Chains A and B, each alone.
Chain A
Amino acid sequence: MSGDDIYHEELVRLAREAAGAGRLPPPASTAERDNPLCGDRVAFDVRLEAGRIAALAHRVRGCLVCQASASFLSRAAAGAGEAELRAARAQVAALLAAGAPAPEGRWRGAALFAPVGAVRSRHGCVLLPFDTLAEAVAGWRG
């Protein structure tokens, strides 16, 4: 288990940047999820316009991988719709589980999570922010 390889420079930097950390004033849809095994907890606020993400903010308590994923999403998910977000999530899951190629376009930066693929117990840490954001998007009533 190459535990240390997943904490490469780009991932750590992304985690520490914490792009998008904070809260959105109303109107916003909020979702909160956690990982029962490791205690990571993510909350996303999101606002949609014409079915696309117009603003988002997050609060994360958890490991660096989870923080990096939330930070990545804060930039990559801007302007995406629900279907595109879910498709990206599926592609990132495949990247982690089977070494499939990273998604394209605005999501291509997800390639930085490829080393996490080697540590199965940490896949959830990458995917938790995706699932939380997707839940917030699905809950939007604007």
Chain B
Amino acid sequence: MRRELLARLRADRAAKRPAVVATELAGGEVRLLHPFEAGEPGGAALLQAARRAAERDRSEVAEVEGREWFLRVFNPPVRVVIVGAVHVAQALGPMCRLCGFDVQVVDPRRSFATAERFPGQQLSTEWPDEALARLAPDRRTAVVTMTHDPKIDDPGLLAALRSPAFYVGALGSKKTQAARRERLRRQGLADADLDRIHGPVGLPLGAVSPGEIAVSILAQLVGRLRRPEGAPGP
């Protein structure tokens, strides 16, 4: 990979700008593409193949107009927004970071959202709708609510469901979920939106501790990310 291209790729990664490095297998030509941006040079067919690889988050070989290219995908990190600076979040945050995800913990209760409880964790004491308006969740963002306080969880879920977030989860028992569904429906959400909520959140492992609950949530989230059609669990 030429030095100049590497420098540009580094800048893209710092700016969290999705990029694909396309290498033509026969001749060795290398191009740096930005598959989600208009006005990119490189030919429509190659760009379309790059976009598909980026959307699937999978580097691959593709044949484009009779030539074979290796498409190496460099996507910005998956983002996880956790609403609720609670015990489960204290486990889930570091676990998500170990997966290479970019994690934000949001809780307007300053006594919960402290650096002592969350060392090295990005924290916000905004209300969830404010934080999500700023963070602008996209297709590579997951949002999980867990304060158990509808006053705080509901605005988070509303904002998440109005975004293209790939995973929206809500901690809470089946009974809580039913009441929540009704409240959110009264706020104007349709069944199709409400069905996006994973609730009770997490794979049914019979988890008993904050750490185990975090495992069940993370497993379900990763399943949704990597196997959106055939993810295990509810």
A residues at B contact (CB < 8 Å): 34-39, 41, 61-63
Contact = CB atoms under 8 A, between A and B. Distances in A.
10 contacts: A34-B110, A34-B125, A36-B110, A36-B111, A38-B109, A38-B149, A39-B109, A39-B110, A39-B151, A62-B151
Nearest to A38: B109
Interface in B143-160: 149, 151-152
A131 to B, nearest CB: 15
Contacts, number: 26
B127 interface: yes
B109 A37 contact: yes
A39 B149 CA distance: 10
A34 B109 CA distance: 8
Nearest to B155: A61
A9 B212 CA distance: 42
A35 B152 CA distance: 14
Contacts of B127: 39, 41, 61
Interface of B: 107-111, 125, 127, 149, 151-152
Contacts of B108: 34, 39, 41, 61
Contacts of B152: 39
Contacts of A36: 109-111
A37 B147 CA distance: 12
Nearest to A66: B151
A35 to B, nearest CB: 8
Contacts of A38: 109, 149
A63 B151 contact: yes
Contacts of A37: 109, 111
A130 B107 CA distance: 24
Q: Which of B109, B125, B127, B149 has the most CB of A within 10 A?
A: B109
A36 B151 CA distance: 15
A62 B150 CA distance: 11
